[in-house]
A and B are shown apart, each in its own frame.
Chain A
Amino acid sequence: MSAHADTHDAHDDHHHKETFVTKYIFSQDHKMIAKQYLITGTIMGVVGVMMSLMMRMQIAWPEEPNVIFQALLGKWAPEGVMDADIYLALVTIHGTIMVFFVLTAGLSGTFSNLLIPLQIGARDMASGFLNMISYWLFFISSVIMVLSFFVEAGPAAAGWTIYPPLSALPMAQGGSGAGMTMWLVSMAIFIASSLLGSLNYVVTVINLRTKGMSMTRLPLTIWAFFVTAIIGIISFPVLLSAALLLIMDRSFGTSFFLSDIFIQGEVLHYQGGSPVLFEHLFWFLGHPEVYIVLLPALGITSEIIATNSRKPIFGYRAMIASILAIAFLSTIVWGHHMFISGMNPFLGSVFTFTTLLIAIPSAVKAFNYITTLWKGNLQMNPAMLFSIGLVSTFITGGLTGIILGDSALDINVHDTYFVVAHFHLVMGISALYGMFAGIYHWFPKMFGRMLNKNLGYVHFWVTAVCAYGVFFPMHFIGMAGLPRRYYTNSNFPLFDDLQDVNVVITVFALIGGAFQIVFIYNLFSSMFFGKKATQNPWKSNTMEWTTPVEHIHGNWPGEIPHVHRWAYDYSKPGHDEDWVSQIVPLKDGEEELQH
């Protein structure tokens, strides 16, 4: 349908009225689908964060009965004492939900859907129908994942990496029965959703750009979404195949990942498989997944930092090159999760080399952000604060990657809290900041109203302090050798002196978690009662701000505007205003920057 976008007349819509169901539920309009992703992702985020807070309380006060556990976990916390199995389940589902459902679907789903058509000048996605299917598959997989908490033996509990044999054998762990089946089914549906979405994004970016919107005039957001979608298409099918093989091993007696197992008094029939194979397949997705989460956040901040600095993004071409370099390298570094898995040490050397190379494009990006701020006229909107926050946590978290990517050093910190601290800062918090920044920035575009900025400031500053308060000290308990995924550390007097640190971390986590209420309140109350937005509140150059505040099907009334310049003509000499929209033609004698 949208292939004919240019000839499509926006006034059509007035003729066939949409019903409530086609407009709000089974909508094929990318703007509505973006909102659906945002709201589902936010709800999943609340669930995921609450799980982490319960884990933190368990680690800090392991012996004490807790009414919150009793209220939320029911039979899994008799008398308010958390069961060891459900702790591992919380670890598992928290990871799964945050990585896939919040930071992949919630982040990419919301902003790719919203911004790709609006920023490239298209009426809608290439296929609105596939887009709708993609959302509803995501919705179904979310429901299945949450429902897995209600099966008799508990949800999947083998860690989000679900390494077999633990995840394959119901006798190894309660959660590896029906709970793991639901996890696998949910993820299979999720992957289908993600692939449909990604294909749509790629096709749309390649085919539906408006006249004048060459690839080198695309905003960096679109570049990031585009490359992210490609990484997803390359790597998600591999996880799907791993999941299918695991299902075969679990239910049909094959031995892809299992061999020589004696458990609960009996020898199992499996022979010849290897869990290491699963690790390879899993991390072939698992590592690119980090960048699937991170790149959209980096794209969003590139846009927001440039807009709010009132300056062009520094090194536009270098930014694109580093996105491409990161994307390429991300597919050949998965082995750094497996240095001590028993694979050949020589492979470890190769993966150390490729892994540390990723630091180079990452450093380029960080420096370019900082240079963009230099001599700017920084407008400290909440979106800008979160973007600066992202650069800060991206640096702090990224730097410790130098240690973890180095196989020799990984020996001693592998699977300790050092790793937990590292990836939470560099991808968890950073991507979350990117998502917050995006929401604060594009909320007026999505809902036609403004978010309350003072609540935004409170939200940012408390979150920023708590994020460092939680994850900075965590590096140190990791370096002291504390393994992750321990239900309690009280069986190791060796770690008794770390308990105080754990309490401090938990207190920061609880404060930070509680203050997310401010954001949730702001989000939902501003949807209905926020101040009405103007067309272009941030004085931004990109095309989405040339559409009317009230959403219309087809995005622009009349013809789609043509593009005459790149997206970053902020404070360009020779113009009165400090911004020039992409749709404004070059003046006589004005040169487009050789970027």
Chain B
Amino acid sequence: MLSRTADHLYWMARHIERAENMARVLDVTYNMSLVPNAAESEAALWVTALEISGNVETYKHDYFKHENDEYTAAGVIHYLAMDINNPSSIYSSLRSARENAHAVRVAMTSETWENINALWLEFSQFIDQDLAKNGLREFCDWVKARSHLFRGVCFGTMLRDDAFSFVRLGTFIERADNTARLLDVKYHLLLPEQEEIGGAVDYYEWSAVLRSVSAFQAYQKIYSDSIEPWRVAELLVLRRDMPRSLHACFDEITLILEHLSGARQTECKRLAGELHAKLRFGKMRSIFQQGLHEFLEEFVKANNKLGAEVHKTFFSIATS
């Protein structure tokens, strides 16, 4: 297939996935804000939402006008959901997804295209809404539902060809990145002081993390025990049967790259295989010895590099 087409499909899927994950982060943070004493302050709570998406500095630049300005729920919600100047806001992600889709509408089924087009048309109902005041839950639910619908319509209607593979590839590379960041920020925040683990707030904090990746019920089912940070980490890193875990993402990614590369020995295939092996054969104990934060940081970097390799291998063909 055309390199440009593959490029657009891949990014369409990444942007949808990004919007979904952002909605999950907002949803969970909002829930935490309803738990008494969940955080020292409104600012301390909401800044974590910015940290997950790596947006703290740009937020400060755009929103802090005076020296004493604090992070506010209203500011962060607007910035992450609706700000057209924030390239990773839900607004920007969905707009990019729709633009990418529009550019290659031929390469997908008409149902897939119409689904994304309808998503964008429906989005306008939220634009003038003050989400911090009301409607944030409904908005986040809507984004998640549209993302589910998007994957469903791709899965249910698209020919199992390269186009389909690039859509899936975008979804899983983005998802792996998002899960790793989320876990990293939360883990980093909670653990260093090594105190009060198992307290009520921790319980809510960690159950919120689990819920944000739709893993709360899975956790109960698998461990049927109190929520322990290291088990949460195991669930989201190593469990291959947990659909948003790093391992599950790389099960898919390696398969897809195997298929897309065909007989070619591509660097992206090798890189994905290497990461996959770490997740497949890794042990939680040694990951903790190395430091979970270091492990996740390295993972995010390697995953980014994989993205760059995918670009080099499939999207930018030299002319001769």
- A and B associate in one complex: no
